[in-house]
């Protein structure tokens, strides 16, 4: 058998900035506690927009609800960016749009670098979709490829800083048995090694283009364009879902307590998920964990 190779040896040379973007300070670390935590600390000390941290290994990575996020060294792209959104186009209520923008940038980057295009699972995951939306679609669960975590610092009701972190699986030798059918890695989906450095550059380029749209003042056309792209690339919209609510849905008691079942019907102007329940009522969900339910089988 051939000797195992370090996934990192397939990477191109590190870069310190990305021309034509605001990402002028890109720092690479062999090991860090959490790229998000480090950038939040720097933001409080006045670090400028466009600071980027990328690590081979995180020892205290985090996901939503404080979940731990770990990966062996060199097998994932672990990256956080520091943004300072303009208060007009991007108040705190619209911060979720930046998460969508980074997710779309990552989906593009995956396709450009590996030929594999993941889809967006609301609110903050990239998945390899197991169902194409048709009645005869593949009966598989979606497999998680990446998670995105946005954390903000607000001052007098305004976003003074937004740190968006992502962990994207790129170089797994195989899917661990306990994650079979649940998670995957880009190299396994593509059948070829993935250049994490090139992938990071493409993510930052795509983030710049979409973030620039979100920062535009005026009629909101830029944000609408990002939302339309998110709808087209969604693995969630049109699916029957079950949402574990972190906060009450807009229709409160009618959501059935801490769970809400229905069809994911749309995204609103702030990136919140609209769920149409079986009685036809529409609920607006700002935060919550989503489970994609398989379509019911119809017996002949």
Read off the pLDDT of each residue in 83-106 and give the average, rounded to a whole number: 96
What is the DSSP code (8-state) at residue 189? H
pTM, rounded to two decimals: 0.89
With CA atoms as reference, report the closest residue to 175 among 139, 133, 141, 202: 141
Read off the pLDDT of each residue in 76-99 and give the average, rounded to a whole number: 95
pLDDT in tens, 40-52: 999 999 999 999 9
Instruction: Please report the pLDDT score of residue 46 as a whole number.
Output: 97
With a CB cutoff of 8 Å and minimum separation 6, the contacts of 98 are 83, 85, 90, 150, 162, 164, 211, 214
Banded pLDDT at 135 (limits 50, 70, 90): very low
**Is residue 2 pLDDT above 90, yes or no?**
no
Instruction: Please report the pLDDT score of residue 254 as a whole number.
Output: 43
Taking the C-alpha atoms of residue 213 and residue 210, their distance in angstroms, rounded to an integer, is: 5
Read off the pLDDT of each residue in 163-171 and give the average, rounded to a whole number: 97
Instruction: Summarize the chain as % helix, strand, coil (round to 5).
Output: 25, 30, 45
Phi–psi pair at 106, nearest 5 degrees: -65, -40
Residue 138, both tokens: 């593949």
**Is residue 198 pLDDT above 60, yes or no?**
yes
Q: Which fold has domain 7-232?
A: BirA Bifunctional Protein; domain 2 (3.30.930)
Residue, of 4 and 96, whose pLDDT is higher: 96
Pick the most confident of 65-69, 116-120, 141-145, 288-292: 116-120
What CATH number does the domain located at 240-292 have?
Answer: 2.30.30.100
Asked if 239 and 292 touch (Cβ cutoff 8 Å), the reply is: yes
Instruction: Please report the pLDDT score of residue 74 as a whole number.
Output: 81
Residue 118, both tokens: 């993941």
Residue ranges of domains in the chain: 7-232, 240-292
Residue 181, both tokens: 């059918």
Q: Helices in 215-286 by DSSP H: which ranges? A: 221-232
Taking the C-alpha atoms of residue 117 and residue 109, their distance in angstroms, rounded to an integer, is: 8
Asked if 240 and 262 touch (Cβ cutoff 8 Å), the reply is: yes
What percent of the chain is modeled with pLDDT above 90? Answer: 75
Asked if 42 and 50 touch (Cβ cutoff 8 Å), the reply is: no
**Is residue 194 pLDDT above 90, yes or no?**
yes
The length of the chain, given as a count of residues: 300
Taking the C-alpha atoms of residue 71 and residue 87, their distance in angstroms, rounded to an integer, is: 35
Read off the pLDDT of each residue in 234-249 and give the average, rounded to a whole number: 84
**Is residue 249 pLDDT above 60, yes or no?**
no
Q: DSSP E strands: which ranges in 198-249?
A: 240-245
Asked if 267 and 101 touch (Cβ cutoff 8 Å), the reply is: no
Banded pLDDT at 217 (limits 50, 70, 90): confident
Banded pLDDT at 256 (limits 50, 70, 90): very low
Residue 2, both tokens: 């051939």
**Is residue 136 pLDDT above 70, yes or no?**
no
Integer angstrom CA distances of residue 18 from 50, 87, 88, 103, 202: 10, 25, 26, 18, 9
Instruction: Please report the pLDDT score of residue 265 as a whole number.
Output: 97
Instruction: Please report the pLDDT score of residue 244 as a whole number.
Output: 87
**Is residue 104 pLDDT above 60, yes or no?**
yes
pLDDT in tens, 55-85: 999 887 655 445 555 567 789 999 999 999 9
**Is residue 34 pLDDT above 50, yes or no?**
yes
Instruction: Please report the pLDDT score of residue 257 as a whole number.
Output: 52
What percent of the chain is modeled with pLDDT above 70? Answer: 84
Mean pLDDT of the chain: 88
């Amino acid at each position: 058998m051939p000797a195992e190779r370090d996934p990192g040896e397939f990477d191109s040379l590190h870069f310190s900035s990305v021309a034509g973007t605001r990402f002028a300070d890109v720092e690479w670390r062999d090991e860090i506690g959490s790229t998000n935590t480090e950038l939040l600390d720097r933001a409080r000390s006045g670090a400028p927009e466009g600071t980027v941290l990328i690590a081979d290994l995180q020892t205290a990575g985090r996901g939503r609800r404080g979940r731990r996020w770990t990966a062996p060294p060199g097998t994932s792209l672990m990256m956080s960016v520091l943004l300072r959104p303009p208060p007009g186009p991007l108040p705190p209520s619209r911060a979720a749009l930046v998460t969508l923008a980074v997710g779309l940038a990552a989906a593009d980057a995956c396709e450009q670098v590996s030929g594999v295009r993941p889809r967006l699972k609301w609110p903050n995951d990239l998945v390899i979709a197991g169902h194409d939306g048709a009645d005869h679609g593949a009966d598989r669960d979606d497999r998680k490829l990446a998670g995105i975590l946005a954390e903000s610092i607000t001052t007098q009701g305004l976003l003074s800083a937004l740190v968006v972190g992502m962990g994207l699986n790129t170089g797994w030798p195989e899917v661990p048995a306990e994650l079979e059918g649940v998670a995957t890695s880009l190299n396994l989906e593509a059948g070829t090694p993935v250049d994490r450095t090139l992938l990071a550059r493409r993510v930052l380029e795509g983030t710049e283009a979409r973030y620039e749209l979100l920062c535009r003042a005026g009629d909101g056309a830029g944000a609408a364009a990002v939302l339309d792209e998110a709808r087209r690339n969604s693995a969630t919209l049109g699916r029957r879902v079950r949402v574990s609510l972190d906060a009450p849905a807009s229709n409160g008691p009618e959501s059935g307590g801490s769970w809400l079942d229905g069809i994911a019907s749309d995204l609103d102007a702030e990136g919140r998920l609209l769920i149409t329940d079986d009685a036809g009522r529409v609920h607006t969900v700002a935060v919550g964990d989503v489970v994609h339910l398989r379509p019911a089988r119809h017996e002949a």
